[in-house]
Amino acid sequence: MSLNLDEVIPLGRCLDEYIGMFSLTSSDLKLAILDCAGGTANFNAEMTRQGQKVISCDPVYQLTAEQIRAHLPEYHDFINGFEASRPNYLWNIFESPSQLAEVRWNATQKFLKDFPSGLQEGRYVTASLPVLPFENGQFDLALCSHFLFPDTHLSENFPLAAITEMCRVAKQVRVFPLLQSFSGVESEHLNPVIAELKNRSFTVEIQEVAYQFQIGGNKMLRVRGRM
Ligand SMILES: C[S@@+](CC[C@H](N)C(=O)[O-])C[C@H]1O[C@@H](n2cnc3c(N)ncnc32)[C@H](O)[C@@H]1O
């Protein structure tokens, strides 16, 4: 499984961001959940601490915690990056780039602390979409945050293949956001992907969520399989 480590590994999002991005209810949180492209988010660590069932998968999990730590952005570079792009974001969930850095840094530290034991327990699994090493219907819900539509390096066919694969392993899939990169513009792949999923008899809806940090980024895709 190849991994390009010339790129910085982003700081992870926190549990509250996941709850907002995916409109997770208290019933949802009790489900068997797969966090696809989980990266350095603290979702798995925090959910496990609360007694819930989450498995996260990502190609970076082939690295050790120390290797991941070595590829994180510098704290001040992270703040400066958001200072430079301040107008692209709504500053109500986070009041400033420095408060955002504090939240994401703490989330990432929680992930790094949890990672070695989580690996041993099988809660962190090295895997790369669009192929997942899980059984059909193993999960109730698969989540995918900030990977499929924002990543403009992915081929046109990638989001469809990835969502179809997530639907194989989970009864329901939620993807957030639907924007292309940092542009604030909806991904050009979105409508063709929705049309093809419907064509293949999946139930698809776009749902507005309460979480909006990137301006225009307040929609998630919800897909239910054909079971
Ligand atoms: C922007 S991060 C998002 C991390 C986390 N979901 C969050 O919201 O904080 C994108 C993640 O996608 C992962 N990724 C890259 N290629 C992938 C692939 N083919 N399959 C699954 N994850 C991948 C990266 O390693 C990275 O951790």
pLDDT digits (tens, 9 = 90+) for 94-147: 999 999 999 999 999 999 999 999 999 999 999 999 999 999 999 999 999 999
pTM: 0.96
Q: Tell me how many helices (H) and strands (E) the chain has.
A: 8, 9
- Cα 108 to Cα 17, 41, 45, 83, distances in angstroms: 13, 6, 10, 20
pLDDT digits (tens, 9 = 90+) for 16-39: 999 999 999 999 999 999 999 999
As a whole number, mean pLDDT of residues 191-217 equals 96
Helix (H) or strand (E) holding 47: helix 43-49
- CA pair distance 12, 60, nearest whole angstrom: 12
56 lines ligand 1 (CB under 6 A): no
Q: If you take atom 26 of ligand 1, which residue's CA is the nearest one? A: 39
Q: How far, in Å, from the CA of 58 to the mean position of ligand 1?
A: 6
Does the structure show a pLDDT above 70 at 227? no
Q: How far, in Å, from the CA of 56 to the mean position of ligand 1?
A: 10
φ/ψ (deg, to 5) at 95? -85, -20
As a whole number, mean pLDDT of residues 167-192 equals 92
Does the structure show a pLDDT above 90 at 5? no
Query: Residue 1's pLDDT is what?
Result: 54
Q: How far, in Å, from the CA of 160 to the mean position of ligand 1?
A: 16
- CA pair distance 147, 175, nearest whole angstrom: 9
Q: Class assignment of domain 15-224?
A: alpha beta
Least Cα distance to 137 among 187, 172, 86, 104 occurs for 172
pLDDT digits (tens, 9 = 90+) for 150-160: 887 888 899 99
225/93: higher pLDDT: 93
Least Cα distance to 91 among 220, 214, 210 occurs for 214
